[in-house]
Amino acid sequence: MKQSQNRRVKRSNRGRSRADVMNPRPPELHSTMTLSHRFRYQSSASFSNKTISGSQLADFLCVVVTQGVNATRVTASWRLRKVEMWGPMVAAMTPVTVSCEFTAPTAATAGAIGSANRLFTDTSMGNQAAHVIARPPEGSWQSMWHPTVSDSTVFMILNGPANTVIDVTFDFVLQNGETVVFSSATPGAAIPAGTVGVFALDSTVGGLPPISYSGLN
């Protein structure tokens, strides 16, 4: 009987250091909540050289504070992983083009550290949609982690026909007592306080609204 008990104790201690066995204590806890999610948007009309700023991207997840007045971002920091676009035909056998361009840094952007402009573009053929998968170049300022602060610097430039579907994938860290940052966009007058949702990618009503999550415009 004693030997059986000893075997059970040994099995329960596997993978634990001697110090943990001799001095049991709660394990180290990483309280930062880091998530990854793909958000989907769809254009209500064609768009040409649509600039998207860091502030507009940072509004991808917010909570309404005062109805029709303001909202705050629920993230402390974020990183853009990928932009994917599908541009449908406007008319039979009429080509359409979609594109995503990551802009070069400016003197106001991380001391002008980063990479050159990178343009991703595709044109439809026959009845197939134009399709691009755009990832920020390695080492570019777009590929890095960004604090959730106001930043009007142009992050990327988009082009596409009406009804273009745009998927944007982010890594992000949820707020954990950091300073509250208000969104760059204003929530709709009919959206009650406490609502969690997503602003349009370009922050405008009827521009590039979300279709995968509750919209706040």
61 touches 168 (CB < 8 A): no
Q: How high is the pLDDT of residue 9?
A: 43
Query: Residue 203: what are its φ and ψ, rounded to 5°?
Result: 70, 5
Separation CA 205–CA 5 (nearest Å): 68
Size of the chain in residues: 217
2.60.120.220, 1.10.10.10, 3.40.50.300, 2.40.128.50: CATH of 32-197: 2.60.120.220
pLDDT at 19: 58
The pLDDT value given to residue 148 = 84
Nearest alpha carbon to residue 73 among 212, 188, 172, 202: 172
H-helix segments, the chain: 2-12, 18-22, 54-58
Tell which residue, 194, 188, 192, 193, has the closest CA to residue 216.
Answer: 188
At residue 15, the pLDDT reads 56
> pLDDT tens digits for 93-134?
789 999 999 988 765 555 456 677 899 999 998 888 999 999
Which parts of the chain sit beneath pLDDT 70?
1-23, 106-114
- Looking at residue 3, its pLDDT comes to 52
